[in-house]
Amino acid sequence: MARIDPAPNAPQGPVIERRSGITLWRQIEQSIEADIVGGRAVSGSRLPTEAELACRFGVNRHTVRRAMEELERRGLVRIEQGRGSFVAEDVIDYRIGPRTRFSEVIARNNRAPSGRILSIAEVQASDAAAAALKLRRGRRLWCVERLGLADGVPVAYALHHFPRARFPGLAEALARGGTLTRALAACGLADYARATTRVTARLPTPREAEHLRQPRNRAVMVCENVNVDQDRVPVEYCVVLYPAGRVQLVFEF
């Protein structure tokens, strides 16, 4: 049987055999799967291009593409238009309960949480925000655009809305660094709890897809959250986008 050895610098996995009774694309699929399962291709890492894999296995790119499509269907890899193919990350269990804090949720998944404030702006309350916060439409709000990461990978893109009249120093508190929870504590809100969460799904906008580092044709889960203080007064209306391939929502009661 003819044997196709991988290139010297390629991950070492099973070689493919012609005339073995197993299609070439299936053997390529099994070889790449072995690299992933064996830890030679780590979670989140970029895989070789179709051209590189075709050279490695001595086949045409259509054969490689068929193998990659099957690996994506099985959830072992994710293919991003214009960026390449990546080993699929372990899905994060994002637990939503009465007290949901991003850093705590990510840490419970044995990941390193981090956040990045993208912008802080003063805006007029939209219909949705006004209804959620029980304010008149057009009232002034702080809108905090934030990206949440786990091990440096984006897992949440959020727009947080807070009543400006209640938290006049929020922008300054956030500018000093730290988490949203600490900034709110500095503004007099010691604790808050989740009142409602509404979940839908859609395709991301170009801006959202760019921040989440995912293709526009891959769905995101959209959570509209309302948080309240100890007197059940709404203090935050938040819209959070989670990439469906990296996060699954778990509701705890």
What confidence tier does 204 reach under pLDDT thresholds 50, 70, 90?
very high
What pLDDT shows up at residue 109? Answer: 87
β-pair partners for 200: 222
> Is residue 151 within 8 Å of 223, Cβ to Cβ?
no
CB neighbourhood size of 138 (10 A)? 11
The domain boundary residue, chosen from 41, 68, 87: 87
The domain boundary residue, chosen from 87, 119, 137: 87
0.85 surpassed by pTM: no
What percentage of the chain carries pLDDT values higher than 90?
Answer: 62
Closest CA to 137 of 147, 125, 120: 125
Instruction: Give yes or no: residues 51 and 174 share one domain.
Output: no
CB neighbourhood size of 234 (10 A)? 21
For the stretch 129-176, pLDDT in tens is 999 999 998 899 999 999 999 988 899 999 999 999 999 999 999 988
Instruction: Give yes or no: residues 36 and 154 share one domain.
Output: no
Q: Which CATH number fits the domain that encloses residue 38?
A: 1.10.10.10
Instruction: Give yes or no: residues 76 and 153 share one domain.
Output: no
Q: What domain count does the chain have? A: 2
End-to-end CA distance of the chain: 59
Our CA angle for 68, 72, 76, nearest 5°, is 105
Query: What is the C-alpha separation between 56 and 20, in angstroms, rounded?
Result: 18
Has residue 31 got a pLDDT over 80?
yes
Instruction: Give yes or no: residues 61 and 129 share one domain.
Output: no
Structural domain boundaries enclosing 25: 3-87
Closest CA to 6 of 43, 42, 40: 40
Average pLDDT of the residues in 188-200: 94
What confidence tier does 3 reach under pLDDT thresholds 50, 70, 90?
very low
For the stretch 41-97, pLDDT in tens is 887 788 999 999 999 999 999 999 999 999 988 878 888 777 889 888 778 899 998
Q: Which CATH number fits the domain that encloses residue 203?
A: 3.40.1410.10
